[in-house]
Amino acid sequence: MLIGLVINPVAGMGGSVGLKGTDGKEVFEEARRRGARPLAEQRMREMLVHLPRIEGLRFLTASGGMGEGTLISLTLAHEVVHRAPDEPTSQDTKTSCEAFMRMEVRLIAFAGGDGTARDIMDVVGERVPVIGVPSGVKMHSAVFANTPRDAASIVAKYLTYGLPLRKSEVMDIDEEAFRAGHLSARLYGFVLTPYERSLVQPIKGDYEGADVEEEKGNIAAYVVDELKPGVLYILGPGTTLEAVAVRLGVEKTLLGVDAVMDGEVLVKDASESDLLRLLERHPSAKIFVTPIGAQGFILGRGNQQISARVVRKVGIENLVVLAAPTKLKETRVLRVDTGDEDLDRRLKGFRNVVVGYRLGSMVRVD
């Protein structure tokens, strides 16, 4: 039984340093200059560690950091079907997938983001099922498991007793526009994904209109009225937090993270290291985040600057979730995927979400 396995080793590196992606050599070099750490291999390793041993299972992969190194370290049976350079490109992902198709794999598992999903779709189309181990900065597509552990469960269930296949959207995100604070997304195409609703993330939802804007305004009014002097406030991405900034009279990085205290922006578009430095000087702090529509993620998607280290330093009791009721109605549960399993466990359970002026709703964090 053959599975194709491919890792985009640079996926997700731009998140913690505030670059909102790593598409392109120049952006990758900038991420590395800022001290970004590779994440995708670690995420694929986590998936493989939780994958039950299945008799006769063998992986096809590419050399080095694209899969071979991880499989060797875990002593998993594999064959290298593509020799990639030390710094692989999207073409290496495509070449690997072409080899997978020739050797008739039953499934392709990949670690990356939306860009990697597009590269795989270009080769595979809807001929072989695909499942993504979430590892990028932007994951708006519906091909990803919620977490690496969920990806392991999907692979095991599909190979042992079968799961239904669903046509899942692959999204094309304009990364240059995204870095400039504008989300420009379009449907790129579809791949087949083994589907179990509780394990696979839906496509990102967008919510607009006069009613939603009024809801955000009510939330913002309450948040600003409750701000305390001398407290550092970390504002995550999104239009709900932008409404807070507008009410406060400061400029917000729409798709970035900003740090505010006493009505002044201390750091705009902050990285993880910026936040950690600020917290050394200002230990009294709160984090405000809003879930990604429909997907429900409050940490680990698009706000990797608010890392597990940052959350631990601030304290989970000082993590505040804001959500417009219209968005919350379409978001079944909240989710966290910080890469720190212990912290994720501590964050799970029911959490009060601010949905209006002095209004809250208890929502489960899964």
Tally of structural domains, the chain: 2
- On whether residue 80 sits in a domain, the answer given is yes
Give me the phi and psi of 131, to 5 degrees please: -135, 135
pLDDT for position 331: 82
pLDDT for position 206: 62
pLDDT for position 180: 52
Last residue of one domain, picked from the residues 194, 221, 253: 194
Last residue of one domain, picked from the residues 170, 194, 218: 194
Share of the chain above pLDDT 70, in %: 87
Instruction: Answer yes or no: do 166 and 42 share one domain.
Output: yes
Residues 62, 42 contacting (CB under 8 angstroms): no
Q: How confident is the model at residue 208 (pLDDT cuts 50, 70, 90)?
A: low
Instruction: Answer yes or no: do 52 and 186 share one domain.
Output: yes
Partners of 334 in beta bridges: 365
pLDDT in tens, 120-160: 999 999 999 999 999 877 688 999 999 999 999 999 999 99
pLDDT for position 24: 54
Q: Which of 100-114, 189-203, 277-291 has the lowest mean pLDDT?
A: 189-203
How far apart are alpha carbons 302 and 296 in whole angstroms?
12
Residues 6, 67 contacting (CB under 8 angstroms): yes
Q: How confident is the model at residue 299 (pLDDT cuts 50, 70, 90)?
A: very high
- On whether residue 240 sits in a domain, the answer given is yes
Query: Domain limits at 178?
Result: 2-194
Averaged pLDDT for residues 291-314: 92
pLDDT in tens, 62-79: 999 999 999 999 999 999
CA distances from 278 to 14, 143, 233, 259, 364 (A): 20, 36, 11, 8, 31
User: Strands 78-82 and 130-134, how do they pair?
Assistant: unpaired
Q: Tell which residue, 21, 181, 49, has the closest CA to residue 112.
A: 21
Q: CA angle 218-220-222, nearest 5°?
A: 70
Give me the phi and psi of 31, to 5 degrees please: -60, -40
Share of the chain above pLDDT 90, in %: 72
DSSP secondary structure letters along 148-210: HHHHHHHHHHHHHT---EEEEEEEEE-HHHHHTT---EEEEEEEEEE--TTTBPPPPP---SH
Q: Tell which residue, 144, 102, 77, 93, has the closest CA to residue 335.
A: 144
pLDDT exceeds 90 at position 203? no
pLDDT in tens, 309-332: 999 999 999 999 999 998 888 887
pLDDT exceeds 80 at position 209? no
Instruction: Answer yes or no: do 21 and 148 share one domain.
Output: yes
10 Å Cβ neighbour count for 61?
A: 29
How far apart are alpha carbons 197 and 177 in whole angstroms?
31
Instruction: Answer yes or no: do 270 and 228 share one domain.
Output: yes
- On whether residue 274 sits in a domain, the answer given is yes
Instruction: Answer yes or no: do 156 and 224 share one domain.
Output: no
pLDDT in tens, 157-184: 999 988 999 999 998 876 555 545 555 5
Instruction: Assign 111 to helix, strand or coil.
Output: strand
Last residue of one domain, picked from the residues 159, 194, 229: 194
- On whether residue 202 sits in a domain, the answer given is no
pLDDT for position 140: 84
Instruction: Answer yes or no: do 186 and 221 share one domain.
Output: no
Instruction: Answer yes or no: do 131 and 40 share one domain.
Output: yes
